[in-house]
Amino acid sequence: GKKQYDREFLLDFQFMPACI
């Protein structure tokens, strides 16, 4: 399905370390 994210959702990840 379509992966659409609104800005609030995206901003929640701003300071989360990327899980590599």
Contact residues for other proteins (CB under 8 A)?
Answer: 2-7, 9-11, 13-19
Amino acid at 4: Q
Q: Tell me which residue has tokens 């992966």.
A: 3
Residue 20 CB, shortest distance to other proteins, in Å, is 8
Residue 2 CB, shortest distance to other proteins, in Å, is 6
Residue 14 CB, shortest distance to other proteins, in Å, is 5
Q: Tell me which residue has tokens 């899980």.
A: 19
d(Cα 19, Cα 4) in Å, to the nearest integer? Answer: 21
